[in-house]
Structure 1
């Protein structure tokens, strides 16, 4: 519709094969208050681009008959006059061959057709085989008993964790088979207990940004053929080679897959935010960062690689990362409370994080907690995204569905499978492409299946999706409040216990032999 961005139309255009048959419906009516009689410029540009890609286009105007004047190259045009249900049904009947085309123009369209003109077509009914395509599950809210779940122990555990100062407050959402059976908030925004936590509150996701935003962008760019996972990073971002000849060879051999799997040998973190100067200066330092081990020697979880990959996505697409994922993923899914740099009008819903005394001073509220992301303008591949449990539930269900939500296909099923399976770049590593899989003292609990994939965020967030059990669990907290040192060990202990309790609530009590309880629960 009119609110869709140019980027969104460009993404659609890239998926259409050359000279494909296209039926395009337009609901354009002259609007005096909009001072135009045609479609918005970006929609007109999209149709012009379609005409360049295919000469098998049928344009149907449910409204303004003069629309064709602005698109004279269009090979076939039907005036349907109004967008009423009656007119739409009549058109479909004719397109299916059930009724003849017998209409004539009651007006003249200058330089296109005279009054009384109309192509008369006698039709023969068209038969179609039933489509095998079906929509993906929508999430819906149910009472726990509707899926035979027993949640009586989950809420007390959340309360105990809060009382034990694992976090000031939390929101927990859990769903199985597309049905949300637990969704509640506990505690407060801070330990001052002035504002109670609400289910609709907005959290700084920290490193969950890496999968929900950046990895999603990479998935879309891979599907469109703009990005090759096995291509060298320097192909897309020549400056990544750096300025140190000693590391030219290794930096030149790093691929997109190395960055996604944390196997490039880059360090976990550097304090770029302490550098003086502009954002470009800090990015130059990111690109010049030297590796600490060789390629594929071991897995080192690296923010540096994901900051770089975010810039690759921007370079390849031609759009800022926040606009890219909003247009191609968040907006199509209706994730309207997922964004970088939260707008000021939503500040009352944004959960504060740390009380800082290092790079910044005072309570961090309404801006990204991660210092490097903040110094890069709040938009980065490794951190910066804010969201709600409900928006993340939609995203998680889409991933469980194999890339589709309702009738909206976001990713191909094979793309979801590729990115959420172990990459095995380093033997024994849990890393998938962007995503992680459960191992050891798993953050997502001890009952996760081996097919599960998820991620955590430094601020106190965790998201785990389990295809085998057809469920997902989202736990959002601000455990870094008032200080990041408060997290260990209480946050880590209670996070695992709460995730596990959700599984126990639906009767999954057989521990995965590959996973271990943390010491507190063992």
Structure 2
């Protein structure tokens, strides 16, 4: 690089200062149906009905692309070094604004004969159906949490009080001050798991082991996801109601909502619809089908606060819509709206990346993908299940697989969960601020995209204004850069305004959940030759919906050097495309 060019770049870096922000750009277009960029408030009163993506204002292409991957993973793995498929089969359901826009089933509910993965003859395999019943594993925790919050509404429980108030035997060995809320948010200090099924001979001794266990860390000082938290809450529900947990869930949740295939210990009459899980040698249960997979829940009689619920995609859709409705469905209320709000508010601000409501996990991009946001709620299940509810777009995604069939060691399905949720997020529209389209980069993992101007020849300092919609993982950055020699690029400070925008001048933009366009301004010192670019880079795992750019204008003292709306040909895209939504 020449000495002159080097000085020019250094001067650019040293002289850059933040410009004056202007007001946030507003999205244009009709209504809110099908929109990702117009976050909703309040609760719906919808009853689910069947439709298509188009009927709900969605673009079917991202959904179709996601479902193609869901299909593909029944025969191959996303990791090319693995020779086993990601899962045996799957059922999915997507909904927006009260419309079920897609139901999909693929692969097999029963496929293998043993732990080694020996395939059954075709006439013995059981294909997935839309009404296949799955072991929901830890998604069961949501039912226990709802049952607890119903007791809160009735005045029988206060989440701020110690659990020992309701279960005196729990308040031993350093647990006297652990609150109900700490169990619901996994901040109790209890370890994640102990082998109740192996180390204790019967149900009373297993429950006593949980009651007697000492915390591993000081309660309230650490996040550790723990089955023992919800086992304890299940016992508390039983104690305070005088009824077994499965009866409470049936009487207060599933029957009022009409969830006809949801419950514990499903009857033999439904076995033909139940997906098989694992071939277990320890304990020696063989191919598990129709009995809860989780060994501790199995050892507790199939009914426990942390696992044991079986359900279908359609039944779980009713529960998801009930949450979007603020606790009611078809006129049957199971929770008050303010209770739902409390369950969807983050109570773990002290533990970054472990956002958690009272029962629901929140804002977990590793499985919520592009739907993730501060109030996006959900839960996964070890057997290969997930429910994700996004109140801001009034949408939800359900993916049920039997990924532990025939072995839990065949890997994680987080990529499938993320893919389905991102497909729904990208089906929702981000409308351009001005004109018919905007620049869009919806990158996958470990990718980059750049949008570069032609060489500009200003005679004075330069001002750049643009609108941007950012929905990314925090570590996936959009940077605005400049060069005077075409080789060495310098990041330009940005002043940003809009809901959720950074208050201070920043060098890059990232983040998710604000769901709105930002207005950005940057100022650059004079350089005779200048090229600008927007560069979006993702890291190895997890991405959001992506980034949109619009209303790009470069000026000097009132004279326009580049108008992206009128001169898109003067912007050279790599990884960006013009999109109307």
Deviates more, 1:298-307 or 1:272-281: 272-281
| Superposed displacement of residue 162, structure 1 | 1.5
Query: Contact 1:449/1:469 (CA < 8 Å) preserved in 2?
Result: no
2:139 matched to 1:208? yes
SS in 1 for 2:318: helix
Deviations 1:166-203 (A, max 9, x none): 11000010000000001110011133351110010000
Aligned-residue CA RMSD in angstroms? 1.9
Q: Could you tell me which of 158, 167, 171 is aligned with 1:237?
A: 167
- The whole-number CA distance in structure 1 between the counterparts of 2:157 and 2:338 is 16
Q: Could you tell me which of 307, 310, 326 is aligned with 1:386?
A: 310
- The whole-number CA distance in structure 1 between the counterparts of 2:281 and 2:295 is 12
| Superposed displacement of residue 148, structure 1 | 3.1
SS in 1 for 2:471: coil
| Superposed displacement of residue 163, structure 1 | 1.9
Q: Which runs of 5 or more structure 2 residues have no equivalent in the other structure?
A: 1-42, 77-84, 112-118, 431-441, 443-469, 477-537, 544-581
| Superposed displacement of residue 515, structure 1 | 7.8
- The whole-number CA distance in structure 2 between the counterparts of 1:412 and 1:285 is 35
Q: 1:179 to 1:514 in 2, by over 3 A?
A: farther
Query: Contact 1:296/1:426 (CA < 8 Å) preserved in 2?
Result: no
- The whole-number CA distance in structure 2 between the counterparts of 1:297 and 1:369 is 32
Q: Could you tell me which of 99, 123, 128 is aligned with 1:179?
A: 99
Q: Which residue of 2 aligns with 1:273?
A: 197
Number of corresponding residues: 379
Q: 1:202 to 1:252 in 2, by over 3 A?
A: same
- The whole-number CA distance in structure 2 between the counterparts of 1:425 and 1:315 is 31
Q: 1:239 to 1:481 in 2, by over 3 A?
A: same
Deviations 1:191-242 (A, max 9, x none): 335111001000000000001x101101111100011101111111111134
2:260 matched to 1:336? yes
Q: 1:135 to 1:264 in 2, by over 3 A?
A: closer
Query: Contact 1:437/1:454 (CA < 8 Å) preserved in 2?
Result: yes
Q: Which residue of 1 aligns with 2:72?
A: 160
Within 5 Å, which residues of 2 pair with 1:86-485?
136-149=45-58, 150=60, 151-164=63-76, 165-191=85-111, 192=119, 194-211=125-142, 213-242=143-172, 247=173, 250-424=174-348, 426-428=350-352, 429-439=354-364, 441-485=365-409
- The whole-number CA distance in structure 2 between the counterparts of 1:145 and 1:378 is 42
| Superposed displacement of residue 288, structure 1 | 1.0
SS in 2 for 1:463: strand
- The whole-number CA distance in structure 2 between the counterparts of 1:447 and 1:176 is 12
Q: Which residue of 1 aligns with 2:416?
A: 494
Query: More relative contact order in 1 or in 2 (CA 8 Å, sep 6+)?
Result: 2
Q: 1:514 to 1:437 in 2, by over 3 A?
A: farther
Q: Which residue of 2 aligns with 1:18?
A: none
Query: Contact 1:261/1:425 (CA < 8 Å) preserved in 2?
Result: no
- The whole-number CA distance in structure 1 between the counterparts of 2:187 and 2:53 is 42
Query: Contact 2:189/2:221 (CA < 8 Å) preserved in 1?
Result: yes
SS in 2 for 1:352: coil
Q: Which runs of 5 or more structure 1 residues have no equivalent in the other structure?
A: 1-133
Point out the structure with the larger strand share.
2
SS in 1 for 2:380: strand
What TM-score results when the alignment is normalised by the length of structure 1? 0.70
- The whole-number CA distance in structure 1 between the counterparts of 2:367 and 2:219 is 27
Deviations 1:48-74 (A, max 9, x none): xxxxxxxxxxxxxxxxxxxxxxxxxxx
Deviations 1:131-190 (A, max 9, x none): xxx992100000222123313323312111222211100001000000000111001113
SS in 1 for 2:355: coil
Query: Contact 1:135/1:405 (CA < 8 Å) preserved in 2?
Result: no
| Superposed displacement of residue 396, structure 1 | 0.5
SS in 2 for 1:342: coil
What TM-score results when the alignment is normalised by the length of structure 2? 0.63
SS in 1 for 2:366: coil
- The whole-number CA distance in structure 2 between the counterparts of 1:401 and 1:169 is 31
Q: Which residue of 2 aligns with 1:28?
A: none
Q: Which residue of 2 aligns with 1:506?
A: 428
| Superposed displacement of residue 338, structure 1 | 0.4
Query: Contact 1:493/1:518 (CA < 8 Å) preserved in 2?
Result: no
Deviations 1:287-307 (A, max 9, x none): 111211101111000111110
| Superposed displacement of residue 505, structure 1 | 2.6
SS in 1 for 2:176: helix
